Amino acid sequence: MPTATAVFNGKTIAKAESWETVEGNVYFPPSSLDKSVLSVTDTHTVCPWKGVASYYTIKVDDKEVKDAAWFYPEPKEKAMSIKDYVAFYKNKVDISTA
């Protein structure tokens, strides 16, 4: 079975056997996340069809990256399949699906 994995600073921070792919980004279900390395920030952006995104800072050991992940806590109707799912910036976190 294929698995999606997110690795930051050598640590697996998300791993899932089912996920959503939207606009080329892997969205991990909340249950697949290591929430101990994530902290919500005050950053928000707006997508016309998904809604308002919230962001996480990732910290593993001594390495921290602000706003490296995002999620939609209250997505618009067309994006309900990714409600609370988390995506990571590919230039900040290593994402693989295999």
Cα distance between residue 3 and residue 66, in whole Å: 26
pLDDT tens for 28-70 read 999 999 999 999 999 999 999 999 999 999 999 999 999 999 9
**Nearest-10 Cα torsion for 8, 13, 18, 24:** -30
> The pTM is what?
0.96
Residue with tokens 């997508």: 47
Other C-beta atoms lying within 10 Å of the C-beta of residue 96: 10
